[in-house]
Amino acid sequence: MLAHTIEEVREKRQEWKGLKIGLVPTMGALHEGHLSLIKKAKEVCDKVVVSVFVNPIQFGPSEDYDKYPRTLDKDYELCTKEGVDLVFAPSPSCMYPEGNGKLSNDTLTYVCPPFFYVNKLCGKTRVGHFDGVCTVVLKLFNIVQPDLGFFGQKDAQQVIIIKKMVRDLNVPVKIVQCPIVREESGLALSSRNKYLSEEGKKEALVLSRILNNIKACYNKGITDVAALKETAYGFLTDKHDMEYLEILDRNTLEEKSKADKDSIVLIACRVEGVRLIDNIYLGEG
């Protein structure tokens, strides 16, 4: 079933009282990465809801909100194939009615995650991004009232912040984190890969190569974070515009001077002007 309004979702939710509900929040343009979350949700829940919503308030003014791929018919077809019980595809004005699709001056309450978690990695260049993400996720949790919410490790900073949000605000939703799905080449699947040319997709392999190489160096016994980061430069050419490469604690995002089994390596790099992110755990997943 496809729902565009909150009322329709609430009605379904009422029908499903007592069942275990899973929510997979997405911005659509679904690929195998999203489908892996849906499959996991199908495995452990009685009913699965997928939201498809390109959330305007998590995009900065110079970002790709307008050109972000929107393929609802195809997404709905894929969801139906996977046995999804409800696809919730609201309009911006359904989610933000007071501001006609945006936050308005009258919006009193939104989620503003702590500076420590947002003043680094993606939050450094995408100012306000995680306010937008947390606000929409909390709204979706309140609308769908799932027992479990499914998120990808692909957006590692996002899932860490969302875990803290549900803990801090006593939101009764268990966050399930799912591994990164990649193409055979190693490229992490992303809706934004659609913007890349064939050549660009090859250049984009630099992200996973840098990550894998750092992990290989770590496995050989190099733990000095500065030395590990240094190894990236051998891979970069003028086709790659690196935004960040960090090795942090995978639970707290704290900086370390020595990498260990709890470290995560995170990278953001532009290829053909497309901003791509990826990450890898140095210890066991």
* Position 249 contacts ligand AMP (CB under 6 A): no
Q: How far apart are CA 219 and CA 81, in angstroms?
A: 41
Q: Does 180 bind ligand AMP (CB under 6 A)?
A: yes
Among 41, 178, 211, 268, binds ligand AMP (CB under 6 A): 178
Residue 109 CB coordination number (10 Å): 7
Nearest approach, Cβ of residue 12 and ligand AMP (Å): 21
266 binds ligand AMP (CB under 6 A): no
34 catalytic? Reply is yes
- The three-class DSSP label of residue 152 is strand
Decide: is 12 part of the binding site for ligand AMP (CB under 6 A): no
118-124 contact pairs (CB < 8 A, 24+): 118/161, 120/157, 120/246, 120/248, 120/253, 121/157, 121/244, 121/246, 121/253, 121/266, 121/268, 122/157, 122/158, 122/268, 122/277, 123/157, 124/244
Q: Which of 118, 161, 188, 266 binds ligand AMP (CB under 6 A)?
A: 188
**Pick from 10, 38, 72: nearest CA to 150:** 38
**Residue given tokens 């690929």 in the structure block:** 31
Report in angstroms how near the CB of residue 9 gets to ligand AMP at its nearest.
Answer: 18
Task: Decide whether 157 or 263 has the Cβ nearer to ligand AMP.
Answer: 157
Q: Which of 4, 12, 97, 15 is nearest to 51 (CA)?
A: 4
Give the active site residue among 4, 31, 34, 240.
Answer: 34
Instruction: Please report whether residue 191 would count as binding ligand AMP according to CB under 6 A.
Output: yes
Please report, as a single letter, which amino acid is at residue 184: E
CB of 162 to ligand AMP, least distance (A): 9
157 vs 268: CA distance, rounded Å: 12
Per CB under 6 A, the segment of 72-80, 123-131, 180-188, 247-255 that binds ligand AMP is: 180-188
Site string for ligand AMP, 32-61 (x = CB under 6 A): -xx-xx------------------------
Question: Is residue 27 at the binding interface for ligand AMP, with CB under 6 A as the rule?
Answer: yes
Taking alpha carbons only, the member of 128, 110, 127, 114 closest to residue 161 is 114
Q: 136, 189, 248, 269: which one contacts ligand AMP (CB under 6 A)?
A: 189
Alpha-carbon Rg for the chain in angstroms: 19
Helices (H), the chain: 6-15, 32-44, 72-81, 92-95, 115-118, 121-125, 129-144, 156-168, 198-203, 205-219, 225-230
Stretch that binds ligand AMP, among 71-79, 187-195, 212-220, 255-263 (CB under 6 A): 187-195
Residue 111's φ and ψ, nearest 5 degrees, are -90, 130
Contact flags string 113-152 toward ligand AMP, x per CB under 6 A: --------------------------------------xx
Closer to ligand AMP at the Cβ: 33 or 146? 33
Of the pair 104, 251, the CB lying nearest ligand AMP is at 251
Residues engaged in binding ligand AMP (CB under 6 A): 26-27, 33-34, 36-37, 151-152, 154-155, 178, 180-181, 188-191
Tell me which residues are annotated as active site.
Answer: 34
